[in-house]
């Protein structure tokens, strides 16, 4: 993903969205050489340290567990994540990195300070949710390209017959080099492990919270730029994405105040991001 600044709309011919020139979506832009603003997001799949946590169930990732988790494997996982992240930037590391399934502050601190990722000088913010296993979401950012203005963990509460612990939504606001404000929302919806239909109500509840957050930002921002990233545990055609969040297919003639699902045409078996930006009544896709 590449973010397009609002101010002068300078883009690079090399920047692409779903295999298309980004300028195809913005025909009035003049392509100029520039450093692309990349954002990546991915599930790091159980980034746990080796220390016991008395508040959460992390027994599966302790020395002596069936997984055989130990410090050497933990350090290797940190190194592998750092190398993949660096490779994604093609020599220029992503300015923003959304992560989920991270255990705590320590694992993210180790990632940005004591792995090969340390040379890129990332900072981070993350949630501290009530998930039974203690897994959370985080956002890494480079201070020289994304100036942190504020962040908050947004709790989710649902009115269901069955109790459910939700992972908090992470909302981060920052200023880009262009002077524009970018709101990034990182989320990890409830899984389908107990069955798609049986758990759908939980994902709908999480989606309503995300939609409410997006609506509130559109109401207060003169030129809203919103990126929603994460593991929605649903596909573009499912109710949580299509009806509740209301993410449509990117189109050159998109309408204002609408969220768009990046690469929705190609997302046959994976979740991408829902995005909205607006300038002078016209919605732009990033």
The pLDDT score that the predictor gives to residue 239 is 93
Listed by start position, the domains of the chain span 37-140, 145-286
Whether pLDDT at 284 is above 60: no
Query: DSSP 3-state assignment of 254?
Result: coil
pLDDT band at 18 (very low <50, low <70, confident <90, very high): very low
In angstroms, rounded to a whole number, what is the distance separating the alpha carbons of residues 193 and 235? 15
Other CB atoms within a 10 A radius of the CB of residue 32 amount to 11
User: In degrees rounded to 5, what are phi and psi of residue 62?
Assistant: -125, 155
The pLDDT score that the predictor gives to residue 193 is 82
The pLDDT score that the predictor gives to residue 150 is 97
* CA 227 to centroid of chain Cα atoms: 8
In angstroms, rounded to a whole number, what is the distance separating the alpha carbons of residues 255 and 251? 9
Element of type H or E holding 82: helix 71-88
Residue range 84-108: average pLDDT? 90
Q: Convert the pLDDT of each residue in 47-94 to its tens digit.
A: 999 988 878 888 888 888 888 899 999 999 999 999 999 888 777 889
Whether pLDDT at 207 is above 50: yes
- State the chain's mean pLDDT as an integer: 80
In angstroms, rounded to a whole number, what is the distance separating the alpha carbons of residues 152 and 127? 8
Whether pLDDT at 285 is above 70: no
Residue range 147-155: average pLDDT? 96
Asked if the 145-286 domain carries CATH number 1.10.540.10, the reply is: no
In angstroms, rounded to a whole number, what is the distance separating the alpha carbons of residues 285 and 2? 10
The pLDDT score that the predictor gives to residue 267 is 60
In angstroms, rounded to a whole number, what is the distance separating the alpha carbons of residues 156 and 158? 7
pLDDT band at 96 (very low <50, low <70, confident <90, very high): very high
Geometric angle at alpha carbon 285, from 154 and 102, rounded to 5° = 35
pLDDT higher at 57 or 213:
213
Whether pLDDT at 154 is above 50: yes
DSSP state of 2: B
Question: What beta strand segments (E) does the chain contain?
Answer: 16-17, 20-21, 39-47, 96-102, 122-126, 136-142, 146-154, 169-176, 181-188, 225-231, 247-248, 259-261, 274-279, 282-284
| Cβ–Cβ < 8 Å for 101, 188 | yes
């Amino acid at each position: 993903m590449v973010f397009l600044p609002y101010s002068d709309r300078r883009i690079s011919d090399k920047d692409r969205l779903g295999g298309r020139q980004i300028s195809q979506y913005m025909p009035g832009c003049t392509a100029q050489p520039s450093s692309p603003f990349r954002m990546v997001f991915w599930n790091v799949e159980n980034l746990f340290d080796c220390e016991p946590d008395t508040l959460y169930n992390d027994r599966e990732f302790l020395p002596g567990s069936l997984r055989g988790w130990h410090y050497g494997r933990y350090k290797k996982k940190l190194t592998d994540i750092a190398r993949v992240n660096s490779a994604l930037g093609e020599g220029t590391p992503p300015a923003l990195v959304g992560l989920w399934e991270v255990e705590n502050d320590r694992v993210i601190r180790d990632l940005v300070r004591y792995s090969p990722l340390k040379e890129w000088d990332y900072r981070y913010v993350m949630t501290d949710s009530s998930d039974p296993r203690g897994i959370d979401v985080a956002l890494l950012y480079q201070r020289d390209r994304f100036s942190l203005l504020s962040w908050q963990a947004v709790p989710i509460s649902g009115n269901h017959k069955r109790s459910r612990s939700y992972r908090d939504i992470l909302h981060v606001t920052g200023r880009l080099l262009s002077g524009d404000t970018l709101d990034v929302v990182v989320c990890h919806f409830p899984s389908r492990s107990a069955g798609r239909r049986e758990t759908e109500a939980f994902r709908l509840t999480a989606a309503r919270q995300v939609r409410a957050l997006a609506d509130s930002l559109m109401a207060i921002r003169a030129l809203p730029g919103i990126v929603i990233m994460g593991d929605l545990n649903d596909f573009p055609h499912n109710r949580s994405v299509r009806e509740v969040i209301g993410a449509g297919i990117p189109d050159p003639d998109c309408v204002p105040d609408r969220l768009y699902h990046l690469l929705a045409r190609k997302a046959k078996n994976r979740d991408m991001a829902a995005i909205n930006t607006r300038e002078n009544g016209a919605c732009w896709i990033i």
